[in-house]
Structure 1
Amino acid sequence: MEHKYIVSGIFTNFLFGAISYVINIFAQKYKDEETLLYGIAGLFAASSVVLYAFIWKWNNVRTWSFYLVYVPLFLTSTFDFITTVDVWRESNGVFLKEYLEIKDYHVHQVVGTNNSIFDGTIIHVLNFISLWRLGSGKSTRSLQLISATGLSMMCSVYAFCVLTSELPLHLLTKIFLTILAIYVFLLPFGVLMIPRSFVLSHKQGSGSAPKLLRLITLPLLVAAGAVIVAKALVLNGVKNEYLEIVRLNDPLIFLNDVEKTFPLIAGVIWQNVIVSLPLLLISFIYHFKTSKPTILWELSIINLGTALLNQFLFIGGSLFWKTPEDLQVNPANVTFWIINLIPVVGTLAQVVSLVPFRASLVSVKAKSKKRS
């Protein structure tokens, strides 16, 4: 059954590509802004109906979370997958040629392009894994939370930078801004509304292996927090011998490829300070406690989703051929990889350290019945 879901998901990608091609032809033919506005809005609405009808036809899941949470995540990563395919052919894109040629610096810059690549590759793969699990009747809550977090983080930084910009906005950018709230707030909230299939039980954390895991995790949490703080200090011009290592080996910190706009990479750095750093601190506080709040699992997953996206931007942006040469990094630079992989490894360890504490609700309920 799960293989049928994967195949059907691939066919949905092809259908989305065909629809994008048709919309692209329309956008190339009609240049009047009002015609484009109503035409694309109408085609988008009709396309949504077609895609949802097709998905309804091939799947057996009939839950609100599948259609209101999973499907938007899957279709968004599908769009970015198609965009990624076309980016490698720019400016000779096949599906989204008109979109790729939009003269809007907010859309076509290093961070925006890498956001799209991340969503079209890493998150798209996670969404297919979720689809496989759905086909086999398994829970996908945590995987969907990673996907929703990634989208929320990329959209929130983009929205802040665009809304504080002094540059004129393209029509499609304005349309996109009106629906950002869905990705920033509603999709993550929708995932959190899906019932949990587990609790955190301190009895699951006994034994030498979990204790050793917690000892290994602690320095990784500290190191991840230190990297986040170091990048923020370097961004603000603070200098010392240790920060100089970060400055020289991670120059993308100073990327500002869209003038008259708050630098998107600076927004990413402050996002790490505002979101990721407090989540690391919370995990640090509860690290050696035998009793942990269940919400700690969700917070660790959110932190992992944030780290995956933001460190992908630093790694991908530093190696991207369109990044200014003075901000690019040699792929053989070991220090660069250590700096940018530590937050990912730290947040991943944050999640893994909680796995021994997880117990299914079914087993917990069964034990409570025996005791009674």
Structure 2
Amino acid sequence: MLRRFIKWLKSFFRSLFSMQNGKNYRSEDNIKPRAKLTDTEYESFFIQLLNGVNDGWSQVKVRGFLDNNNIIQADLLVWLRGFSDKLLAADVENDELALRMLKLGKANMGELGELASSIGIRLQKRGQEIVSNNTHSSLNLESEDAESWFQKGLDKNRVGDLETAVICWQKAVNIKPDYHNAWYQLAYALSDLGKQEEAILAYEQALAIQPGDYQAWYNKGNTLIDLLKFDEAVICFQKTVEIQPDFYHAWNNLGSTLGCLEKLEEAFTAYNQAIELQPNDYQAWKNRGLALEKLGRLEEAFASYDQAIQIKPDYLDASKYKELALRNLEKQKQAAMSSNKLTVIKRE
């Protein structure tokens, strides 16, 4: 027993001595530095990260992904700045990547999210520049074929490129000033772009060429409403229904515009006409109710709101106005009862 103890004691001192001389001794100096990731590895991990965030990764999961792959955020930021410079220098659209960058920006990842969001915004702007440059280079500006320009405008409009469509249609009407369809399309596009005054001028050109174009009258009226020019809008809608009497949208808009001018009886008549043409037009029923309520005809207003709700049960506007009309109707009845009581008292 004693021999075993002495043997163990010698072994212990040997191990202790060897540790003191540096053997089997670990220090921070002996830990190998973490291997630096290559650009290819960073790109691979970053794409995985973007895909994960796009699939709904939480902030915790994102941080776990970075930790599990030994990615130091400060180093990732340095790489990402360089990566973004390369992306922005390329003549390639990166719309999908831009959207995913913006999504990462909303993941509350601090500086990483802020940088990703900034890059996403710049990538989107860069993409728009590339599209614009490609568009202008693809257009044969020397062409003098109005029909060709008109068709190019339709093509651009079809893909949502209104700015370029406007350029095409302007070119078409410059070549052929009496090109009615080009003026009409130009006006409509300008209105969609928020250029209402220019749109009105284009509609007037279209109508000067074809005065019987009820769609042009109707859309000119809608554009005038945007400009709060209600008197002029009324004239346009009246002209529309004069040309196309069964155009119930125009009757409804005529009623709304007359209502804005406090011409309530005329508005009521217009709404009735719209409803006669389209009995299921819940908006016309609601608008009719508003006109009736302003005229003090609360029971009829209540019935109009009720009809709108029957057609569209989830129509919140009609429900709200119906409730208000009911309150006003009850007040009216209470006021009438009070008045009757007062009359009786006076007689006594």
Return the index of the structure with the highest Cα Rg. 2
TM-score computed with the length of structure 1 as normaliser: 0.23
Higher relative contact order structure (alpha carbons within 8 Å, sequence separation ≥ 6): 1
TM-score computed with the length of structure 2 as normaliser: 0.24
